[in-house]
Amino acid sequence: MAGQMSGFVDRFLHKRALRRWGVAADRAPATDLEGLRSLRARARALRRNLDRVIHEAEHRLAMPVIGSNIIRKQRGTDWAWRPELWKGSIPVPGMASVPGRALIYDGATIFHDCRHSELTVRQIRNTRDVDIAPFGFRMDVFRFDGSFLSLVVELPEDAARGLKQKHIIRMDVIVEMEKPLEIFARLNIKHGPNVEQIVRELPLNEEEVMVEFDLAYSKINEKRVERLWVDLIFEGPEMNQIILRDVTFSRRPRAEL
């Protein structure tokens, strides 16, 4: 009841203020200079706060909604997923001097073999008109004396449930970088004691950056599939800033011939 009353009072005062300023605007042409000077000062003070509210609202409302799970899907898709790193705010958004194995968030881990780490990572808020994912993931790499840098993403149980050799697993990526480098995606499928691996290079020069893993060429035991994960491998990352604006995965059965 108190909340309803407060809302009613707010609406009443808002309408009253609108009417008062509407009348002031109508009378401004006939108002004497001293009164007009006072009115201008009050209007400017009000406008400063209004402009602040409008600026913040337009900025936040233009950004993708936190938790949004809008994903571009191919026809026939029976599973699609965006990792939480790109979907929601994580408890520790950044890390400096990242160690050789660092859990960024559940299901997302950085690996490298540098003796002296000059790598920093941070979850950032996406703000561009073209962004669908609420968050992006940025890596700043300075001196790099290691032989590999990778981001490992664990896929959820749903990805393995009902997985067949007739399936195609697709990964879509939106990536930015300061200078060119090569990025490889390696799909790992654990089935029983064995791990099937399929490697693809991301076509970074194409408008649509995506790779597809066709399981028809794999030797997985469909009855023993346990889990899946993907390694994103960055070749020659030294002195570079890499931003993964979005990463999504989907699965669809291959069209029957």
Which positions ≥6 away from 216 have C-beta within 8 Å? 165, 166, 254
Instruction: Give mean pLDDT, residues 121-142.
Output: 90
Among the residue ranges 40-44, 101-105, 247-251, the one predicted with the least confidence is: 40-44
pLDDT at 21: 81
In a domain, 114, yes or no: yes
Same domain for 156 and 237, yes or no, is yes
Distance, C-alpha 205 to centroid of its chain = 21
Residue 235 lies in a domain: yes
58: containing domain: 2-62
State the Cα–Cα distance between residues 37 and 196, nearest whole angstrom: 78
pLDDT top residue among 203 and 15: 203
pLDDT at residue 206 greater than cutoff 90:
no
Number of H helices, E strands in the chain: 4, 13
CA 233 vs. chain centroid, Å, equals 19
Residues 126 and 245 in one domain: yes
Are residues 31 and 115 located together in one domain of the fold?
no
Residue in this structure with the two tokens 């958004």, named with its chain if needed = 93
32 or 103, greater pLDDT: 103
Higher pLDDT, residue 163 or 51 = 163
Taking the C-alpha atoms of residue 27 and residue 31, their distance in angstroms, rounded to an integer, is 6
163 and 93 in a common domain: yes
pLDDT score of 86 more than 90:
yes
167 by Cβ neighbours in 10 Å (0-12 / 13-18 / 19+) ranks as buried
**145 and 100 co-located in one domain:** yes
**Total structural domains within the chain:** 2
Q: Per residue in 7-41, pLDDT tens?
A: 767 787 788 878 888 888 888 888 888 888 888 88
pLDDT greater than 60 at residue 1: no
Nearest alpha-carbon partner for 240 in 186, 176, 195: 176
Q: Of the candidates 115, 114, 116, 118, which has an alpha carbon nearest to the alpha carbon of residue 139?
A: 118
State the CATH number of the domain containing residue 212. Answer: 2.60.120.260
Distance of CA 193 to the CA centre of its chain: 34
84 and 49 in a single domain? The answer is no
> What's the pLDDT at 5?
55
Q: Is residue 72 part of a domain?
A: no
Q: What confidence tens digit (pLDDT) does each residue in 34-66 have?
A: 888 888 888 888 888 877 776 566 556 555 666
pTM for the complete prediction?
0.75
- Residue 255 scores a pLDDT above 70: yes
Contact, 144 vs 238, CB < 8 A?
Answer: yes
**Dihedrals φ, ψ of 165, to 5°?**
-70, -15
Tokens of 188: 């790992």
Report the pLDDT value the prediction gives residue 90, as an integer from 0 to 100. Answer: 87
**Strand runs (DSSP E) across 86-224, as ranges?**
94-95, 101-105, 108-112, 119-125, 135-141, 149-154, 167-177, 182-191, 194-201, 210-214
